């Protein structure tokens, strides 16, 4: 399974006047919520509309697609050690909403074709 995180929109940091430094984290979970794999994008510094355009490959058999969940979160780095989640969505078995569920279903039925959708993050 190939996943591309393309871009974000309207990220802001209410604590300071400049946009936050953000990165995306993708976590693949099995049917009982255990982490199978994870990866993250590089940090985009001070961009309200960051372009990530990074692709990640997860080793998942076709028959397992109905049993996994892909958790996508956008995080901000406030200092060297302090991290904060901006928002998240989940696709797959435990999708976070109807749009995410439809996206996952379309992806499963696409037979290798790319399926691209815009999602609104849920608040952390």
Read off the pTM. 0.88
* Dist. CA 51–CA 42, nearest whole Å: 11
Cα end-to-end span (Å), the chain: 26
Query: Residue 35's closest CA among 84, 59, 70, 2?
Result: 70
- Sheet containing strand 122-123, strands side by side: 35-40, 22-29, 69-77, 83-92, 122-123
Q: Which CATH number do you get for residue 48?
A: 2.60.40.150
Domain count, the chain: 1
User: Exposed, middle or buried by CB within 10 Å (0-12, 13-18, 19+), for 24?
Assistant: buried
* 54-99 pLDDT, tens digit each: 999 999 888 888 999 999 999 987 666 677 888 999 999 999 999 9
Domain, as residue range, for 93: 2-123
Give the CA distances from residue 87 to residues 8, 41, 76, in Å, rounded to whole numbers and listed in that order: 11, 15, 10
pLDDT of residue 12: 72
């Amino acid at each position: 399974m190939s996943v591309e995180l393309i871009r974000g929109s309207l990220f802001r940091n209410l604590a300071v006047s400049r946009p936050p430094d953000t990165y995306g984290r993708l976590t693949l979970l099995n049917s009982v919520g255990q982490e199978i794999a994870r990866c993250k994008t590089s940090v985009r510094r001070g961009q309200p509309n960051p372009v990530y355009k990074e692709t990640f490959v997860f080793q998942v058999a076709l028959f397992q697609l109905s049993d996994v969940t892909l958790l996508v979160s956008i995080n901000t780095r406030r200092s060297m050690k302090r991290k904060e989640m901006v928002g998240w969505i989940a696709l797959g078995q435990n999708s976070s909403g109807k749009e995410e569920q439809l996206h996952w279903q379309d992806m499963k039925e696409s037979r290798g074709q790319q399926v691209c959708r815009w999602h609104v993050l849920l608040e952390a």
